[in-house]
Amino acid sequence: MLKKLSFALFAGAFALAACAADRKDAGVAANPAAEQVVRAALQKLAPGVQFDEISTSPLPGFYQVIASGQLVYVSTDGKYMLNGDLVDLDARQNLSDRAWAGFRKAELAKVPAAKRIVFSPPHPKYTITVFSDVNCGYCRMFHSHIDQINAEGIAVEYLAWPREGLTTTAGNPTDTYKEMVSVWCAADRKAAFTAAKHGQAPKPATCPNPVKDEYDLGVKLGVTGTPMILGPDGMVLGGYVPPDKLLKMLEKGG
């Protein structure tokens, strides 16, 4: 994990300002001095790093740090770092998952509806967010059921996440990135999106678009592959999920 985190930090993937959030179930009280120690410890690992979130943790003596799609726990003295799920054995609850969910929900709320591609029934019972690539097999399989998913009362809001990344090793835009920009710039985004899912490349187009921002957001939220389905509460529901199973998961609260 140290190697992985160090690589991510040195790669410059942390691009957002730090913020601190108190939590009711925290095992350590918020302390600006301790937060600075935590900050300094990770900056020593990677000078100049910035963080997505530093907050108090249910784990006594540790702060919770979210950065570049990773969640770790760092001791208040900056000496120790833990990577892994924090589980409340009494409540039988994964507290790391809950922390991620809250963070994702807050960040997704900042994405305007106009920047999403939305397939929705008239009066949806549930709304999910799906980071998707137009070319991946499971993304296409998931979208092939979009009518059935909508019929189950589920609205699907797609965000762009080209699996190839944004640029090639030579620094040129990847083919998938260019194709997704063309989809988001199409006069009829939904039609272009569905056509691309069927292997019909959209007419090349450029315009002000959110594809790069949504890709970067996905990295920040821990997306490593597509599709990635997020429930209304920010919990990860999985990758490809059949419509009937998806409905059951939503009815059970994920």
Provide the residue ranges of all domains of the chain, joining segments of one domain with +.
2-100, 113-251
Map residue 54 onto helix, strand or coil: strand
pTM above 0.85, yes or no: no
Beta strands in the chain (DSSP E): 20-21, 53-56, 62-67, 70-75, 81-82, 87-88, 93-94, 117-119, 126-132, 154-160, 228-230, 236-238
Crossing angle of helices 189-197 and 175-184, rounded to 10° = 150
pLDDT at 49 over 70: no
The mean pLDDT of the chain is: 87
Q: Which CATH class is domain 2-100?
A: alpha beta
Residue 113 DSSP symbol: G
- How does pLDDT run across 177-225, given as a tens digit for each residue? 999 999 999 999 999 999 999 999 999 999 999 999 999 999 999 999 9
User: What pLDDT does residue 54 have?
Assistant: 92
pLDDT confidence of residue 217: 96
**Domain 2-100 shares a fold with domain 113-251:** no
Query: Under a CB-based contact definition with an 8 Å cutoff, are residues 202 and 195 in contact?
Result: yes
CATH architecture, range 113-251: 3-Layer(aba) Sandwich (3.40)
Q: Are 132 and 159 in contact (CB under 8 A)?
A: yes
- Contacts of residue 198, Cβ cutoff 8 Å, sequence gap at least 6: 140
Could you read off the pLDDT of 225-252 as tens digits, one per residue?
A: 999 999 999 999 999 999 999 999 999 8
Place of tokens 């809950």: 98
Phi (first) and psi of residue 208, to 5 degrees: -60, 125
- pLDDT tens, 1-23? 444 444 343 333 333 233 333 33
